[in-house]
Amino acid sequence: MDYHLIDLYHQFKDGHLDRREFLSKLILITGSLAAAQTLLSSIDAYTQIIPEDDPRLDAEMITYPGETGEVSAYLARLKEEQSRPAVIVIHENRGLVPHIKDVTRRMALEGFLALAPDALSPLGGTPEEDMDAARSKMRELDNKETVDNFVAAVEYLKTNPLTTGKVGCTGFCWGGGVTNQVAVHAPDLTAAVPYYGRQPDAEDVPQIKAAILAHYAGDDERINAGIPDFEKALKEAGIEYTFHVYEGAKHAFNNDANPGRYNKEAAELAWQRTIAFFKEKLKT
């Protein structure tokens, strides 16, 4: 597929083009609205590593009880019926977008029951076709209630008959920060892997019971400014942790749906480390 089409698509997904502008440009390329919509579906499929209908997986939207009521979440697992360790996948500040569902399917193929809650559930869920609206709605969320909804996911998975009772959590950007908060507030969490996430306050760190594996981009001054205090607090509390900084990588380097940020080498190495960490810490 033409790279310029993919770039145009990501300008839309990143909020640089609204849907009307994006479709107008596609119509100029394709000649009709119907053809533009067909092309959009093709681009969506092209940018996914694991297709929605992968025959190895069962994947569906479910709900679980949270602090604010029923929370919508995307659940993916291998078809073989056996209990598996669980991993929560927390999205960026655009809500539960197709890319995060794709990451959730990738996690499931690694042998985990993977669950990606939609933080925007209390506000009606992630808008499917309007990233600007999603980002705006994210700013309306109550921080405590949001963290509590993800903590509730730990409890949901811990007692789910499809799991072994062991639960890990990973998240990206905004979701990396929430992953750190889940580690603080969920004593039953076994392992946490925040990607370039905002660190918790130092005084909250001693509450963490999970082992921590944190990934940071080398070119991410704002987030990286919090690393020294976080590391100091983890050391003083005797909490197991490992930090990796990927030099030359930008914030959001794992997002292969964003060609301006994606760093293939850093993303693949971080993913290998993440999976090895979860397999070690969540084994029964």
Q: Which domain holds residue 116?
A: 56-281
Check whether residue 22 and residue 152 sit in a common domain: no
Query: Which pLDDT does position 1 carry in this prediction?
Result: 45
The closest of 121, 117, 247, 112 to 191, measured between CA atoms, is 112
Check whether residue 263 and residue 242 sit in a common domain: yes
Check whether residue 197 and residue 76 sit in a common domain: yes
Check whether residue 113 and residue 213 sit in a common domain: yes
Query: Which pLDDT does position 196 carry in this prediction?
Result: 98
Q: What is the pLDDT of residues 39-87, one digit of tens each?
A: 665 565 555 788 889 999 999 999 999 999 999 999 999 998 899 999 9
Check whether residue 22 and residue 115 sit in a common domain: no
The closest of 15, 122, 96, 107 to 54, measured between CA atoms, is 107
> Per the structure, how many domains does the chain have?
2
CATH number of the domain within which 70 lies = 3.40.50.1820
Check whether residue 35 and residue 81 sit in a common domain: no
Check whether residue 38 and residue 161 sit in a common domain: no
Check whether residue 140 and residue 198 sit in a common domain: yes
Check whether residue 81 and residue 175 sit in a common domain: yes
Query: Which pLDDT does position 237 carry in this prediction?
Result: 98
pTM across the whole model: 0.86
- Report the pLDDT averaged over residues 252-279: 93
Check whether residue 11 and residue 121 sit in a common domain: no
